Amino acid sequence: MERFIIHLNVADFAVAVERGLDRRLEGRPVIISPLGAVRAAVYDMSEEAYRAGVRKGMPLDRARRRCRDARVLPPCTERYERVMDVLLKQVLPFSPLIERGEDDGHLFVDVTGTGRLLGPPMDVAWRLQRRIRTELGLAPIWSVAPSKLVAKVATRLVKPLGEYAVGAGEEEAFLAPLPLSLLPGVEAADLACFGSLNLAQSGQAAALGLEQLRVIFGNRAPFLYETLRGIDRAPVMPAGKAPPRAVSEHTFETDTNERDVLERALHRLVEQVGRKLRDRRLAARRIGVCLDYSDGVRRIRSAGIRPASSNDITLFEQARAVLYTAWQRRVRVRYLRLVCDRLTFPPAQPSLFMEERQTEERRTALVAALDAVRDRFGGDAVGWGG
């Protein structure tokens, strides 16, 4: 049966919610970022601010310099979560298969097989758009495609306003003229490698066969081969199902409070979780650490990751910082768990700054090389030096 996946995307979701509460923000550049934080970063921005050069994750002081007339507002994540809940309720009558983003205005809706009841998928998307605009004052863009991957790319094309439909069998032709940076899961190191071959568009890279890609990219070849052709079999998860996450845990044979022992165990968990994320073509936007002490006390701490990542090096830097916020007692530790959640497609936008971009590319290439060695010789074939 032909699949029909609708992707709804309220562009610049946090800004759209704030504008719904304050119409004076309409038409002017808006930046959402914590106020007063020493290292405040951009949480979201309006289209006007984006055109001025502001990007998510950019330091706030740099964003202010790029867009001096922007109105800066603090993020209100509880408000965005409530609006996402209401948005989900508006869509539920149309399908039980609704996968929501993490308070970011994204919804995947599987309407496969509902044509006799609801009508053509494009009509359903139109009705959903009108319903959300009428009830919530939000104007989502939408796409219809046979997979989540292609639907996601289609809405990226028409942002901030518009709609797009891709039929079954049209996926590869649809992707062919697009820049490789628009494809979810294609990372900075992949782009650099394609660039060294003078390949910039999806269709150019798709001319390479699986074995040719394997010579260049190793274990990432099957993923890239399918992505370049728009192949994505991932299902839309049922509404109400717990959001996906990647978890690994470790119980110490002997309770410990030695820094080196804890960090080595944490690093091993990061490698396990990072591999799970990369295999699922996802990146984490939050990382959490759970510690159980010998006396039964439990401490749980977490922190956001911006931009989202599945790279072991980046994840470990974040995880170690979170570990030390949870590890504040002299009592020995018995159990350690690492959780990565708020999963999303890896960021499509590479860093604007050369030094940061080169660092990302080196990290991605290194982790990809380690994955290739472990795939061939086993998980313990190579590790990090202490």
Res 100: pLDDT: 84
Q: What is the pLDDT of residues 96-143, one digit of tens each?
A: 999 887 668 899 999 999 999 999 999 999 999 999 999 999 999 999
Whole-prediction pTM? 0.72
Res 239: pLDDT: 79
User: Could you give the CA distance from residue 237 to residue 241 in angstroms, rounded to a whole number?
Assistant: 7
| Bridge partners, 45 (sequence order) | 31
Per-10-residue mean pLDDT, the chain, length 386: 93 93 93 80 91 89 93 90 91 92 84 93 95 93 95 91 93 96 83 90 94 86 91 85 84 92 94 88 89 85 85 91 90 93 71 59 70 66 58
User: Could you give the CA distance from residue 205 to residue 176 in angstroms, rounded to a whole number?
Assistant: 9
Tokens of 204: 């150019």
Half-sphere exposure at residue 139, Cβ-oriented, CA atoms within 13 angstroms: 9
- CATH architecture of the domain 1-167 equals 2-Layer Sandwich (3.30)
Res 360: pLDDT: 67
Res 101: pLDDT: 73
Mean pLDDT of the chain: 87
Res 190: pLDDT: 82
**How would DSSP label each residue in 197-266?**
TT--BHHHHHTS-HHHHHHHHGGGHHHHHHHHTT---PPPPPTTSPPP-EEEEEEEEEEE--HHHHHHHH
* Residue ranges of the chain that CATH labels 1.10.150.20: 172-228
Identify the H or E element spanning 89.
helix 77-91
Res 285: pLDDT: 86
CATH superfamily of 172-228: 5' to 3' exonuclease, C-terminal subdomain (1.10.150.20)
CATH superfamily of 246-349: DNA polymerase, Y-family, little finger domain (3.30.1490.100)
Pairing of β 44-45 and β 30-32 = antiparallel
Res 380: pLDDT: 63
* Residue ranges of the chain that CATH labels 3.30.70.270: 1-167
CB 336 within 8 A of CB 261: no
Identify the H or E element spanning 28.
none
Q: What is the pLDDT of residues 14-68, one digit of tens each?
A: 999 999 999 999 999 999 998 876 678 888 999 999 999 998 878 899 999 999 9
State the burial class of residue 4 (Cβ atoms within 10 Å of its Cβ: 0-12, 13-18, 19+): buried
Res 354: pLDDT: 54
